[in-house]
Structure 1
Amino acid sequence: MSKAFTKESDGDDDEGLSLPPLPAGGKNYITPAGYARLRTELLALIDDERPKLVEIVHWAASNGDRSENGDYLYGKKRLREIDRRIRFLTKRLEIAEVVDPSVHAGSDQVFFGASVTYADSDGSEREVTIMGIDEADSALGQISWISPVARALLKAREGDEVQLPTPGGQRTLEILAVRYPPKT
């Protein structure tokens, strides 16, 4: 079949970018800093990256045969990726509920945004910060508020022991310290 009769994907498929699931009736909690980061990324895509790429694709299309034009083919593919990310960020920001964790400063109870130091039943200590789904970065010790560890820790207090169900059986976590960012 000739290349002229093939349909180019329109990019409306959100394959692989489904929104991470929220608990039933749950909200998409996010810290003010996380919200600002996502909003900045969205605005940069809309105002800077996408217009530059549209210009490149337009230039490449004006060069003639599009079937063998690498700039055109790559540009169209990258444009679909940017549009997909813009849709994703727009949806997430629309449903985001910004929660400032500093309102709990001085509290010893675990809420969203807390940095919690806990000891595992095997004696190892770990510190995690409970963040929103869209901003948590495990490399920085941040966990999503819907993760099993966060769910076990939420609403407990310093000195409490909580049970964490795992595939290998119950683990006991002892909360050693709870910290919040200072009030601004």
Structure 2
Amino acid sequence: MERIPITKEGYEHLKKELEQLKSVERPKNIEAIEVARAHGDLSENAEYDAAKERQSFLEGRISELSYKLANADVIDTSRVARDKVVFGCRILLENVDSGDEVTYQLVGPDESDISKGKISVSSPLGRAILGKVPGDEVVVDAPGGKRCYELVDIL
């Protein structure tokens, strides 16, 4: 069974989403199915079809979240070493070509959100930066071509 790395915050977020789906969304959808079923002929009942489709989506997501939570490898990022880049740490990178600086946190695939400065350890940049120390250069093959960064600091 594959363990899925995740921060404590990411684990809690997935747990909260699962609880919301089970306690709010699923019952609401069951009610929508009952209401649509009460309208009679199910063969041409768009409300019923939509509710059944939503039920399928909800059950799939509940199953997916349950699997991920059961196989989660929760990593306490407060205890992460700061001498080299590892899962959970925050890093400051400088784009060698433009001089632009960016800060990222390395997280599990289910937590990555570039708009919040969180990148997956399994992304090209995440894989390239693991194990590096401040001062190291990192070259990443990006869709727009190669990008060079310098690891300025581990925060």
TM over 0.5: yes
**Structure number with higher strand proportion:** 2
Q: CA RMSD in A?
A: 2.0
Cα distance in 2 between the residues matched to 1:26 and 1:110: 22
Cα distance in 2 between the residues matched to 1:49 and 1:121: 47
Partner in structure 2 of residue 86 of structure 1? 62
List 4+ stretches of structure 1 deviating above 4 A: none
Identical residues among aligned pairs (%): 38
Aligned length: 153
Secondary structure, in 3 states, of the residue corresponding to 1:130?
Answer: strand
**Which runs of no fewer than 5 residues in structure 1 stay unpaired?**
1-24, 180-184
Partner in structure 2 of residue 144 of structure 1? 120
Partner in structure 2 of residue 118 of structure 1? 93
Partner in structure 1 of residue 22 of structure 2? 46
Cα distance in 1 between the residues matched to 2:2 and 2:89: 19
Q: Which of 59, 64, 74 is matched with 2:50 structurally? A: 74
Q: Deviations over 1:80-109 (max 9, x none)?
A: 11111111111211221101111026x242
Q: Which of 101, 104, 109 is matched with 1:133 structurally? A: 109
**Residue 26 of structure 1, CA deviation:** 6.6
Cα distance in 1 between the residues matched to 2:140 and 2:31: 53
Partner in structure 2 of residue 3 of structure 1? none
Equivalent AA in structure 1 for residue 150 of structure 2: E
TM-score normalised by L of structure 2: 0.87
Larger radius of gyration: 1
Equivalent AA in structure 1 for residue 94 of structure 2: A
**Which runs of no fewer than 5 residues in structure 2 stay unpaired?**
none
Equivalent AA in structure 1 for residue 137 of structure 2: E
Cα distance in 2 between the residues matched to 1:52 and 1:61: 14
Cα distance in 1 between the residues matched to 2:2 and 2:57: 28
